[in-house]
A = this chain, B = another copy of it.
């Protein structure tokens, strides 16, 4: 049973139908963890997450796919092919706190729509195709750092299940057990059968929308580093401590906020640097801040540039601490190397864009994604859709449903080539 070399007609009616299905599903899934303000908070292993996963499982099953959960609870909707080599497509199901209805789960919906169409239109592929509903990517409940894709890549350390805790002190292992998952079996999630991965995702930035392009063919993810910094000075009364005697931890942190911005600006785009978290103690309006705890996140595609930015930041922290008589402590927060995606998969995505008549551009991702991890196992690339206003991780996060339909057609053509092609 040889596979057809060319995709049979994908009509505008097909696109409309899949667009409508995707729209229905986005609306359905946003209810799991949905708030009155339109926000979505779907943290891994919570009841809202379990309900979303069950819903996705039902939908994929009804589309003719065989669904299984792996050891960490990610779902895989399988269309068995002649070969056991697997072409994987999808994204994550969890969300940030008070996020939107698109980040992550849109990729699951798009992959599901595309594969359901392929099942119905073409039947059995040469290679096995799986829709991937990853359990966790956002680190929004635990500092879990790509939990689902790290499980697949065999990169979860044996002690993590009992070490990582949420704000209430629950371990991620206990949270797994509450969902009927056994943390001692995490290593069983490791995959060795993947031959390609395509992750559809919203851009989360303004580039596509501003350029008027509908699809981004993502050929790299920039590296991310993060530092967790504490400045310890001396708290005191805002009236009685003369300026000259102060050891004001917030004033030191303020210098760092501005210097991080300056370092990124001097490096130039695409370098970015952000102090996103800052906690000041004791915090009274009439108290000189005694301590400031903050983070610095900085990103660039090139490791040597990241090295240079990190060196400048560390030197700066020492200088500010010395000048203000503060104690400084620095810990690594995150260190995710960048990745260059596979040229052939990017090329297939570009061909699919041309065939679909969709305006597209190659671009890097400035945010971390599951494809960084899974791309270490097999050829991978990503497909971005525009984020309205460049916004994400917000209740008003939105992607035009017409763009979703375009993206699904591109994905259908891409998965066809990967699953049925030579």
Where the two chains meet, the residues of A that have a C-beta atom closer than 8 Å to any C-beta of B are 96, 98, 203-206, 222, 224, 226, 228, 235-245, 248, 250-251, 253-255, 257-258, 261, 264-265, 269-278, 280, 282-289, 295, 297, 299, 333-334, 365-368, 387, 390-394
Contact = CB atoms under 8 A, between A and B. Distances in A.
Contact of A272 (B241, B250, B265, B333): B241
A240 B367 contact: yes
Q: Which residue, A237, A272, A288, has most C-beta atoms of chain B within 10 A?
A: A237
Q: Which residue, A274, A297, A366, has most C-beta atoms of chain B within 10 A?
A: A274
A240 B284 contact: no
Contacts of A265: 243
Contacts of A283: 276-278
Contact of A270 (B242, B277, B368): B242
B276 A284 contact: yes
Contacts of A391: 236
A287 B280 contact: no
B270 A288 contact: no
A117 B297 CA distance: 64
A259 to B, nearest CB: 9
A238 B299 contact: yes
B276 A285 contact: yes
A32 B96 CA distance: 43
A243 B271 contact: yes
A238 B394 contact: no
Contact of A280 (B264, B270, B278): B278
B258 A285 contact: no
Given A254-B257, A276-B280, 9 more contacts: A203-B240, A206-B241, A222-B239, A235-B393, A238-B272, A240-B390, A243-B265, A243-B272, A285-B295
Q: Which residue, A245, A276, A299, has most C-beta atoms of chain B within 10 A?
A: A276
26 contacts: A96-B284, A205-B237, A205-B239, A205-B241, A206-B240, A206-B245, A222-B239, A237-B366, A238-B272, A238-B297, A238-B299, A239-B299, A239-B367, A239-B368, A240-B390, A243-B264, A244-B269, A248-B261, A253-B254, A254-B275, A276-B282, A276-B285, A276-B288, A277-B283, A282-B393, A286-B367
